[in-house]
Structure 1
Amino acid sequence: MVKQIELDWSEGIEIEKAFFPEDKLGRVRYATFLTKLLASQGFDKARAEGDQKRNYVLNLNAEWGAGKTYFLKRWSEDIKEYYPVVYVDAWKKDYSDDPLMTVIASIIEQLRKQAGKDKDSPEFKVPRKLIGLLKAAAPGIARGLFKRYVGIDPVEVMNADNDNIGSIKGEDGENLTDVNGKPIDMGFAASEAVKYLIDEHDAKSAAIENLKTSVFEWVSAVVGKELPAFIFIDELDRCRPSYAVEMLETIKHIFDIKGVVFVVATDTEQLQHAVKAIYGEGFDAKIYLSRFFNSRYSLKAPDLENFLEVHSDASKLSGDYLRDLNIEVLPFNEDAKTTLRNISVVLDAFKVSARTAIQIADRIVATISNMPRGSKIDILMLTTLLCIKEKDHNLFDEIVSGKFERIIQSGDSQKTIYLSDFLETYIPESSHMRHIEMHFDPQEYASYFKTSPYSSPVVNQYTSGSYRLYLIEYLKEILSSHFGSSGKSRSIIYNLGGRRKSPDQEQTPLEKIGKALTEEYKKHQNDTDAQTLGVPALLWVKFLYIKNKFESIDMDEYKDFVELASPLDWMGKDELPEID
Structure 2
Amino acid sequence: MISKLPAPIIEKDNPFKNCKLGRHQYANILTTVVSQNQGCVLAIDGKWGSGKTTFVKMWKKSLENQHFNVLHFNVWEHDFTTDPIIGMISQFRDMAEGDDAKVKFTKFAAAAGKVASGMLPSIAKGLTKKCLGEDVVELIGSAMKEIADSFDKVIDDFVEQCQSMEEFRKALENLVEFTTQDGKPLIFIIDELDRCNPRFAVKVLERVKHLFSVSNIVFVLSIDKEQLCHSICGYYGSDNLNAEEYLKRFIDIEYKLPEPNVDKFTKYLYEAYEFDIFFASELRPKNLLEEKEEFLKMARILFEYMHLNLRQMEKICAHIRLVLLTFKANQYVNPSTILILTCFRSTDSNLYAQIVSKNITVQELLNQIESTLPRNVFIEDEYDRDNVSRLAVWETARLLVAYNLSLNKHHKEELLKRIESDNGSNDSFKLLLSTKVIPIETLQEAVIWYSQNLYRNDPILPLDYTIQHIELLTSFQ
Deviation digits for residues 108-140 of structure 1, max 9, x if unmatched? 31x34xxxx4xx522233555544432234564
Cross-structure match for 1:556: 464
CA distance in 1, matches of 2:360, 2:157: 76
2:71 is aligned with 1:105:
no
2:275 is aligned with 1:317:
yes
What does residue range 535-574 of structure 1 map to in structure 2 within 5 Å?
Answer: 546-551=455-460, 553-564=461-472
2:272 is aligned with 1:288:
no
CA distance in 2, matches of 1:563, 1:141: 48
Q: What residue identity is the alignment partner of 1:233? A: I
What does residue range 345-364 of structure 1 map to in structure 2 within 5 Å?
Answer: 345-364=301-320
Identify which of 374, 377, 381 aligns with 1:431: 377
Aligned residue for 2:274, secondary structure, equals helix
Q: CA deviation at 1:17?
A: 13
**TM-score normalized with structure 2 length:** 0.68
CA distance in 1, matches of 2:286, 2:60: 43
Identify which of 69, 76, 88 aligns with 1:84: 69
Identify which of 266, 270, 288 aligns with 2:223: 266
CA distance in 1, matches of 2:148, 2:80: 29
Identify which of 36, 40, 65 aligns with 1:56: 40
Identify which of 14, 19, 32 aligns with 2:10: 14
Asked if the contact 1:89/1:234 (under 8 Å) is kept, the reply is yes
Asked if the contact 1:143/1:153 (under 8 Å) is kept, the reply is yes
Q: What residue identity is the alignment partner of 2:231? A: A
CA distance in 2, matches of 1:140, 1:261: 27
Cross-structure match for 1:573: none
Asked if the contact 2:15/2:61 (under 8 Å) is kept, the reply is no
Q: What residue identity is the alignment partner of 2:462? A: D
**TM-score normalized with structure 1 length:** 0.57
Q: 1:292 to 1:468 in 2, by over 3 A?
A: closer
What does residue range 66-465 of structure 1 map to in structure 2 within 5 Å?
Answer: 66-80=50-64, 81-109=66-94, 111-112=95-96, 117=97, 120-126=98-104, 129-138=107-116, 140=118, 199-203=157-161, 206=164, 208-222=165-179, 224-282=181-239, 284=241, 285-310=243-268, 314-318=272-276, 320-322=277-279, 332-333=289-290, 339-372=295-328, 374-389=330-345, 390-391=347-348, 393-394=350-351, 397=354, 401=358, 404-406=361-363, 419=366, 423=369, 427-432=373-378
CA distance in 2, matches of 1:127, 1:19: 30
Q: CA deviation at 1:380?
A: 0.5
Q: 1:539 to 1:303 in 2, by over 3 A?
A: farther
Deviation digits for residues 307-358 of structure 1, max 9, x if unmatched? 345567744311x3456695669965586x8744432313434454544333
Q: 1:138 to 1:86 in 2, by over 3 A?
A: closer
Q: CA deviation at 1:251?
A: 0.7
The share of aligned pairs that are identical, in percent, is 22
CA distance in 2, matches of 1:78, 1:155: 42
Cross-structure match for 2:139: none
Q: 1:17 to 1:278 in 2, by over 3 A?
A: farther
Q: What residue identity is the alignment partner of 1:479? A: L
Q: CA deviation at 1:564?
A: 4.4
Task: Structure 2: state its 5+ residue gaps.
Answer: 1-7, 123-141, 405-412, 419-424, 427-445
CA distance in 2, matches of 1:331, 1:209: 73
Q: CA deviation at 1:378?
A: 0.8
Q: Which has the larger Rg?
A: 1
Asked if the contact 1:245/1:275 (under 8 Å) is kept, the reply is yes
Identify which of 452, 461, 478 aligns with 2:398: 478
Q: CA deviation at 1:379?
A: 1.0
Deviation digits for residues 496-550 of structure 1, max 9, x if unmatched? xxxxxxxxxx99xxxxxxxxxxxxxxxxxxxxxxxxxxxxx99999999744353
CA distance in 1, matches of 2:15, 2:160: 47
Q: 1:340 to 1:266 in 2, by over 3 A?
A: same
CA distance in 1, matches of 2:101, 2:299: 55
Q: CA deviation at 1:477?
A: 4.5
Deviation digits for residues 38-64 of structure 1, max 9, x if unmatched? 32232xxxxxxxxxxxx2111111101
Q: CA deviation at 1:382?
A: 1.2
CA distance in 2, matches of 1:475, 1:339: 11
CA distance in 2, matches of 1:91, 1:17: 29
Asked if the contact 2:107/2:171 (under 8 Å) is kept, the reply is no
Asked if the contact 2:84/2:203 (under 8 Å) is kept, the reply is yes
Q: CA RMSD in A?
A: 4.8
Q: Alignment length, in residue pairs?
A: 408
Q: 1:40 to 1:279 in 2, by over 3 A?
A: same
Q: What residue identity is the alignment partner of 2:190? A: I
Larger mean CA deviation between 298-307 and 479-488 belongs to 479-488
Q: CA deviation at 1:364?
A: 1.2
Q: CA deviation at 1:381?
A: 0.8
Q: CA deviation at 1:397?
A: 3.0
Asked if the contact 2:194/2:228 (under 8 Å) is kept, the reply is yes
Task: Structure 1: state its 5+ residue gaps.
Answer: 1-11, 43-54, 157-192, 407-416, 436-465, 491-505, 508-536, 566-580
Aligned residue for 2:92, secondary structure, equals helix
Asked if the contact 1:86/1:107 (under 8 Å) is kept, the reply is yes
Aligned residue for 1:470, secondary structure, equals helix
